[in-house]
Amino acid sequence: MNSNAQLLETQLVHLASLTGSEIRASEDSLHLLRTFLDALERGAVRAAQPDGNGGWTVNAWVKQAILTVFRAGENSDMTAGGLSFVDKDLIPARVLSVSDGVRLVPGGSSIRRGAFVAPGVICMPPMYINIGAYVDEGTMVDSHALVGTCAQIGKRVHISAAAQIGGVLEPAGARPVVIEDDVLIGGNCGVYEGVRVSHRAVLGSGVVLNASTPVYDVIHGTILRSTANEPLVIPPSAVVVQGSRAIRGSFAESHGLSVATPIIVKYRDERTDSRTALEDALR
């Protein structure tokens, strides 16, 4: 963390102890919150970042500061284009320009104040990117997809239609969802509760992952789970599809019951790469 970010952290930790009315009574405090939101939008501070050893470091102070922004904000009329909206006045929708290098296709999408969206990102309507999210270069967020609060999305990720990348804001130290570089998230997928999807992995349509989900790797004969100290991590280049497993017990067996279960059926090869290649012409 650079010195500017460290200073910002120190100042924001102090604000966290104040009430919303106390913060709003001070223009200096409001200016500090706006400076923080600007830093989020530049990618100068993040809710989490790679630790250099293959893992991720959570910056609890960033999420605490976002909570402070909510506490200090007041509901305001944000009506636009004839549509009625009411939200916290400190975090309106971001207004992008051509110089931002983001392609935001018309049709009801929104990027909230305090979200970092890198040049080269494509946003297909309607989609939503929430405060604290980090979306890196070349990623596509497809129609009806959500990038939740503080979710960390890598480079050249494809978040397909109706996929939900969960956010996490409370508790402040909780792990956000992390999607690393070159991942394909299939349509109608859901990734929640601090799950990390490693680089080049593929989630087939309809796969749902959360902190309590066991993932069966049939290639290596292992079961992947989260622990109290570590998130569920989908390995690099894993190809995950939604399967099922039988429920034990006489009642379940007599009725042929099963539960949905994500299964790693292979690891990426040339055939997978050709089927999941991103089309440069779209960019």
Q: Position 197: which residue type?
A: V
User: Is 1's pLDDT higher than 70?
Assistant: no
Cβ within 8 Å of residue 239, ≥6 positions away: 201, 202, 204, 264, 265, 266, 267, 268, 272
Average pLDDT of the segment spanning 99-105: 97
Could you give the domains of the chain? 3-72 (1.10.166.10), 77-276 (2.160.10.10)
Round the average pLDDT of the chain to a whole number and report it.
Answer: 94
Q: How many whole angstroms separate alpha carbon 123 and alpha carbon 117?
A: 10
Q: 112 in helix, strand or coil? A: strand
pLDDT at residue 280 in the model = 65
- Please write the tens of the pLDDT for every residue from 206-253: 999 999 999 999 999 999 999 999 999 999 999 999 999 999 999 999
Secondary structure letter of residue 211 according to DSSP? T
- pTM metric for this prediction: 0.94
